[in-house]
């Protein structure tokens, strides 16, 4: 029941309309009893009593009905309820016959609480089969449906090339600076050490050895291709060939390396021999032994 607020919801209106009907009923009963007029407080009191009386009969009858493990109240439940409330049931038929001359007033209320149509948007979802029909409908779909939107990714070739190039440059720069920060550095300028640090070169005792020897990746690739083309015996034949390159002179090693290189598919072996930085080496693929 709204207190001092002037705006009422449709449910409140529904409730108030019935309350007004009860007041009209009370007024008609008083008129039938012989009163010409009545105090407002008295009518309000009787209306409140009438409403609570009906509610109490309903509650008590339901309780009696459920007490006997039933769900549908019957006449006996109501009789017991009335007796418990101190109502003399025997006088009821006499009263009904007596008051038949009373004018029947108070037409029933017809308005039902309805949500305004202007605010609905979209089709409400119909009830699934497990929900009874008298339950309220689903709310508007926009209240619970979420449709994510995606921005179309940029597919312009120029933009993508620029992005890839700048990313690659940034990665290289970051890695080399990391190497400079964690390893030994040599400075380009005599006084200023921190501005342009260069990764210190590690001098080898035999500087040309790394140029002559094949890198580990090369050796892996050679083993893979050899095993896929030839038998295991030829693998063992090639192995002593690799071992022997350590001992032979530089020209022979060059020639043997070159021969092995030409027998393979073209690869960037020259560069691989120079790159010692583990972060800049190409990816080492796992050995795949193909079954014959």
Partner 1 sequence: EGAMSNGVYVPPGAANGEVKPVVSSTPLVDFLMQLEDYTPTIPDAVTGYYLNRAGFEASDPRIIRLISLAAQKFISDIANDALQHCKMKGTASGSSRNKSKDKKYTLTMEDLTPALAEYGINVKKPHYFT
Shortest separation between residue 121's beta carbon and partner 1, angstroms = 32
Question: Does 180 sit near partner 1 (CB under 8 A)?
Answer: no
Site for partner 1 in 74-93 (CB under 8 A): 74-76, 78-79, 82, 86-87, 89-93
Taking the mean position of all CA atoms in its chain, how far away is CA 180?
Answer: 44
Q: Which two tokens stand for residue 182?
A: 């964690």
Choose between 22 and 199: whose C-beta lies nearer to partner 1.
Answer: 22
Q: Of the ranges 69-77, 189-197, 200-208, 216-224, which one interacts with partner 1 (CB under 8 A)?
A: 69-77
In this structure, are residues 82 and 54 in contact, taking their beta carbons and an 8 Å threshold?
no
Question: Does 33 sit near partner 1 (CB under 8 A)?
Answer: yes
Choose between 102 and 241: whose C-beta lies nearer to partner 1.
Answer: 102
Are β-strands 185-187 and 197-199 bridged in parallel, bridged antiparallel, or unpaired? antiparallel
Choose between 60 and 215: whose C-beta lies nearer to partner 1.
Answer: 60
Question: Does 58 sit near partner 1 (CB under 8 A)?
Answer: yes
Q: How many residues in the shown chain lie near partner 1 by CB under 8 A?
A: 59
Shortest separation between residue 26's beta carbon and partner 1, angstroms = 6
CB count, 10 Å around CB of 125? 13
Shortest separation between residue 148's beta carbon and partner 1, angstroms = 44
| Alpha carbon distance 57, 70 (integer Å) | 17
| Residue among 21, 24, 1 at smallest CA distance from 12 | 1
N- to C-terminal Cα separation, the chain: 89
Question: Does 57 sit near partner 1 (CB under 8 A)?
Answer: yes
Shortest separation between residue 7's beta carbon and partner 1, angstroms = 22
Question: Does 16 sit near partner 1 (CB under 8 A)?
Answer: no
| Residue among 203, 205, 204, 185 at smallest CA distance from 195 | 185
Query: Strand pairing partners for 21?
Result: none
Question: Does 73 sit near partner 1 (CB under 8 A)?
Answer: yes
Question: Does 187 sit near partner 1 (CB under 8 A)?
Answer: no
| Alpha carbon distance 220, 60 (integer Å) | 92
| Residue among 262, 263, 245 at smallest CA distance from 254 | 245
Which of 12, 13, 51, 138 touches partner 1 by CB under 8 A?
Answer: 51
Choose between 39 and 251: whose C-beta lies nearer to partner 1.
Answer: 39
Please give the angle made by the CA atoms of 41, 47 and 52, to the nearest 5 degrees: 125
Q: Which two tokens stand for residue 205?
A: 């005792």
Residues of the shown chain interacting with partner 1 in the complex, contacts defined by CB under 8 A = 18, 21-22, 25-26, 28-30, 32-39, 41-43, 45-46, 49-51, 53-59, 61-62, 72-76, 78-79, 82, 86-87, 89-93, 95-96, 99-100, 102, 104-109
């Amino acid at each position: 029941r709204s207190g001092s607020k002037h705006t009422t919801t449709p449910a409140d209106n529904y409730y108030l309309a019935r309350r007004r009907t009860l007041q009209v009923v009370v007024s008609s009963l008083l008129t039938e009893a012989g009163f010409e007029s009545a105090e407002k407080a008295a009518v309000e009191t009787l209306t409140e009593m009438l409403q609570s009386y009906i509610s109490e009969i309903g509650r008590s009858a339901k309780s009696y009905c459920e007490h006997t493990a039933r769900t549908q109240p019957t006449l006996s439940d109501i009789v017991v309820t009335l007796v418990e409330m101190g109502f003399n049931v025997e006088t009821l038929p006499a009263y009904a016959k007596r008051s038949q001359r009373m004018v029947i007033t108070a037409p029933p209320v017809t308005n039902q609480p309805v949500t305004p149509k202007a605010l609905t948007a979209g089709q409400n979802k119909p009830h699934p089969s497990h929900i009874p029909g008298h339950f309220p409908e689903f709310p508007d779909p926009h209240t619970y449906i979420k449709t994510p939107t995606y921005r179309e990714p940029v597919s312009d070739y120029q933009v993508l090339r620029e992005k890839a190039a700048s990313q690659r440059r940034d990665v290289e720069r970051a890695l080399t600076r990391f190497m400079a920060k964690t390893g030994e550095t040599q400075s380009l300028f005599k006084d200023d050490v921190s501005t342009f640090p260069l990764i210190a070169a590690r001098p080898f005792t035999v500087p040309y050895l790394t140029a002559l020897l094949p890198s580990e990746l090369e050796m892996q690739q050679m083993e893979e291709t050899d095993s896929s083309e030839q038998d295991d015996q030829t693998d063992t034949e090639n192995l002593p060939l690799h071992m022997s390159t350590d001992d032979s002179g530089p020209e022979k090693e060059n020639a043997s390396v070159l021969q092995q290189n030409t027998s393979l598919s073209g690869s960037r072996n020259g560069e691989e021999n120079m790159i010692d930085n583990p972060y800049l080496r190409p990816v080492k693929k796992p050995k795949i032994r193909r079954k014959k």
